[in-house]
């Protein structure tokens, strides 16, 4: 008889939901976490009374009522709506592309005028019938003004290369809204947990044994011996000792600053869309929670290549990496007592609501 039913490697959203649900079923769980804190990439840290999103801005959004009710059963969510602003050479534009943006770009005031203007801009590229790269694709879909002011520089910074060297399929369509609606997401439900995401994960892990600063691979054999099954939410290539090579990721560098003023930019997210400014955006954390603290915390976000010691943020969804991932997945399939789940173990860009859905599916399968 082992001491635990489940050893859960990683205290992010996936691991926390799994541990919570299984504990509720009377199973014994141990959660181990390599970092010094719980909550994985949704970790928020209280700085000057402000919940700072330490691993990037996180906005919860879903159209799945069950998922929304599920997360709200732990902590209440606020009414935050993501409405980012773009700054291009000192001029501000609303995002996503909507009537406000078209007014700011061209002075057009009606949907018909905006439609005609976009068509006029696109017509200049109608000779491009088979776009070969992101630049051509974006010009065909939206024309020169939108591409040059709002897409080009931002995307080049994100990818670390010129738009002419980024594959066209990255942009399949450009969502144009002919309404004055700055809400970035189309989902039915949206918000931020009151008290921050760490409070959400703390609630999920209430009464469950958690060991932080504990790396699974520092003592894998002994840890495996503790439990009947392992739930692994770390990088899948690391689990298999990189035997088929390392999976690629994009990383980010965050530069945080506490400012002695109550309001720096008046919005949670401002994108900097010109190439010459090295960061892609500035996050002002207090605005996720309508904060009225005397100080403010801002974060400049710099996209970076992945290298030793950096956090893996975005899986690279290209053929080479998918092939490597499929090999690891096949190996994982041969381990009946190890469950691979979450963003890093499935090498998939999951949003939070998708992680919730996925984790609850896996829990359900365990109960059968
Ligand atoms: P996560 O990475 O959070 O957890 C895995 C945990 O395992 C980590 O804590 C890690 O330290 C631990 N671990 C790994 N190896 C270990 C080992 N060997 N031993 C012990 N512990 C180990 N989604 C969304 O819905 N809205 C949004 O706005 C955003 N924004 C966003 C911005 C940025 C910059 C990123 C990178 C991601 C987002 N996301 C998002 C996605 C969101 O972050 C993601 O869906 C969840 O955090 C995934 O939770 P997981 O539990 O799968 O992984």
ipTM of this complex prediction, to 2 decimal places? 0.99
* DSSP letter (8 states) at residue 125: T
Decide whether any atom of ligand 1 lies within 6 Å of the 315 Cβ: no
Both 164 and 240 in one domain: the answer is: no
DSSP SS3 for 164: helix
41 Cα: distance to centroid of ligand 1 (angstroms): 4
Question: What domain range is 120 assigned to?
Answer: 96-170
357 Cα: distance to centroid of ligand 1 (angstroms): 15
What's the predicted TM-score (pTM) here? Answer: 0.96
pLDDT above 70 covers what percent of the chain?
A: 100
The token pair at 277 is 């400014």
Is residue 257, in this structure, part of any structural domain at all? no
Atom of ligand 1 nearest to the CA of 15: 51
Decide whether any atom of ligand 1 lies within 6 Å of the 197 Cβ: no
pLDDT tens sequence across 25-73? 999 999 999 999 999 999 999 999 999 999 999 999 999 999 999 999 9
Residue with tokens 């840890």: 223
Decide whether any atom of ligand 1 lies within 6 Å of the 34 Cβ: yes
HSE-up of 338 (CA within 13 Å, CB side)? 21
Q: At what angle do helices 134-142 and 111-123 cross, to 10 degrees?
A: 140
Both 106 and 244 in one domain: the answer is: no
pLDDT tens sequence across 259-303? 999 999 999 999 999 999 999 999 999 999 999 999 999 999 999
Question: Which helix (H) or strand (E) is 169 found in, with range?
Answer: none
Both 21 and 108 in one domain: the answer is: no
Say yes or no to pLDDT of 352 above 80.
yes
Both 165 and 212 in one domain: the answer is: no
Is residue 211, in this structure, part of any structural domain at all? yes
Residue 90: burial class (beta carbons within 10 Å; 0-12, 13-18, 19+): exposed
Atom of ligand 1 nearest to the CA of 342: 52
pLDDT tens sequence across 186-222? 999 999 999 999 999 999 999 999 999 999 999 999 9
Say yes or no to pLDDT of 311 above 90.
no
233 Cα: distance to centroid of ligand 1 (angstroms): 9
Both 225 and 342 in one domain: the answer is: yes
Decide whether any atom of ligand 1 lies within 6 Å of the 301 Cβ: no
User: CA-CA distances (angstroms) from residue 322 to 247, 264, 331, 346?
Assistant: 9, 41, 14, 11
- Give how many domains the chain has, as a whole number: 2
DSSP SS3 for 119: helix
């Amino acid at each position: 008889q082992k001491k635990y039913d489940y050893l859960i490697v990683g205290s992010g959203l996936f691991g926390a939901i799994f541990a919570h649900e299984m504990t509720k079923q009377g199973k014994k769980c141990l959660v181990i976490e390599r970092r010094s804190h719980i909550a994985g990439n949704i970790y928020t840290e209280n700085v000057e009374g402000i919940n700072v999103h330490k691993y990037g801005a996180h906005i919860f959004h879903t159209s799945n009522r069950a998922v929304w009710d599920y997360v709200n059963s732990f902590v209440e969510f606020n009414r935050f709506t993501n409405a980012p602003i773009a700054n291009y050479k000192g001029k501000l534009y609303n995002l996503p592309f909507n009537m406000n943006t078209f007014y700011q770009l061209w002075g057009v005031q009606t949907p018909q005028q905006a439609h005609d203007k976009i068509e006029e801009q696109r017509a200049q590229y109608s000779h491009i019938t088979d776009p070969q790269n992101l630049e051509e694709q974006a010009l065909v879909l939206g024309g020169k003004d939108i591409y040059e002011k709002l897409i080009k520089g931002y995307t080049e910074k994100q990818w670390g290369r010129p738009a002419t060297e980024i594959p066209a399929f990255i942009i399949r369509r450009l969502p144009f809204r002919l309404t004055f609606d700055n809400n970035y997401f189309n989902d039915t439900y949206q918000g931020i947990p009151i008290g921050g995401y760490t409070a959400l994960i703390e609630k999920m892990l209430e009464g469950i044994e958690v060991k932080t600063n504990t790396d699974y691979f520092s003592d894998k054999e002994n840890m495996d011996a503790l439990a009947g099954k392992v739930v692994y939410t770390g990088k899948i290539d690391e689990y298999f000792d990189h035997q088929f090579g390392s999976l690629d990721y994009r990383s980010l560098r965050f530069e945080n600053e506490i400012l002695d003023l109550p309001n720096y930019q008046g919005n949670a997210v401002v994108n900097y869309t010109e190439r010459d400014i090295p960061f892609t955006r500035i996050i002002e954390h207090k605005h996720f929670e309508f904060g009225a603290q005397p100080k403010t915390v801002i974060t400049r976000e710099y996209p970076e290549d992945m290298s030793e010691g950096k956090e893996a943020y975005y899986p690279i969804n290209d053929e080479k990496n998918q092939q490597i991932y499929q090999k690891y997945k096949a190996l994982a399939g041969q381990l009946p007592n190890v469950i691979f789940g979450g963003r890093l173990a499935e090498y998939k860009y999951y949003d939070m609501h998708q992680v919730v859905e996925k984790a609850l599916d896996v829990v359900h399968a365990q109960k059968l």
